[in-house]
Structure 1
């Protein structure tokens, strides 16, 4: 299923985004990342193997510039909150909605001056059974 890849691609299509979003966790330098959170679940199963799913993701940004993180994550949040469509490239899912579950918030600052802010989202999609 290519949902998380399409979501990452959509984030990177945001006009004026000064940093590229990648899948995975924060690196040692400035970074913007997208990764899954616990708590995702199947909300309905159908006889043909199709399922409705709620998927939890977090978008994290690390930088020494608190104002840059704040502006980037609010930009991402505003774009995702208005997201009405997301196409699967391999036909594995159908997008229903994306809900912002936590607006951007500060998570950490370390003794080297790195700030980390987070943005949490929940996607509701239909996942189609893969052909064997």
Structure 2
């Protein structure tokens, strides 16, 4: 299922982001990432094996420039709130919608001056049963 890859690709099409979004966790330096969160759940299951899911993801940014993080995550949030289409490249899912569950918020400030801000979303998607 390639949903997270398509979400990352969509984020990377947003003009003038200061960093490329990657999948995984924050690095040691400035970074912008997307990763899954716990709590995803099946909403409905169909006879053909397809399942409707509510899937939780987090977008995190780390930088020493608090205002840049704030602006970047609010830009991403605005773009994702208006997202109506997202297509699988391998036909493994159908995108049904996306909801921002937490607006960008500060999560951490360490003694080296690195800020970490988070943005939480929930995607509604149908995952098709894999053909064997």
TM-score per shorter chain, which class? over 0.9
Task: Provide the C-alpha distance between the structure 1 equivalents of 2:19 and 2:84, rounded to a whole number of angstroms.
Answer: 23
Using the alignment, how far apart are the partners of 1:19 and 1:4 within structure 2?
Answer: 18
Counterpart CA distance in 1 for 2:48 and 2:96 is: 19
Partner of 2:87: 87
Deviation digits for residues 39-72 of structure 1 (CA, Å, limit 9, x no counterpart):
0011111110000001000000000000010000
The alpha-carbon deviation at position 37 of structure 1 amounts to 0.3
CA deviation map 1:7-41 (0-9, x unaligned): 00000000111110000000000000000000001
Unmatched segments (≥5 aa) in structure 1: none
For 1:90-109, what aligned pairs fall within 5 Å after superposition?
A: 90-109=90-109
Please tell me whether residue 19 in structure 1 is matched to residue 19 in structure 2: yes
In the TM superposition, structure 1's runs of 4+ consecutive aligned residues that sit over 3 Å from their partners are none
Residue matched to 1:33: 33
How many equivalent residue pairs?
132
Residue 4, structure 1, aligned to residue 8, structure 2: no
Q: Quick check: 1:51 aligned with 2:51?
A: yes
Q: Take 1:12 and 1:73, find their aligned partners in 2: how far apart are those partners?
A: 12
Unaligned runs of 5+ in 2: none
Aligned to 1:63: 63
SS in 1 for 2:130: coil
What is the RMSD computed on CA atoms of the aligned residues?
0.4
Q: 1:75-103 deviations in whole A, cap 9, x for unaligned?
A: 00000000000000000000000000000
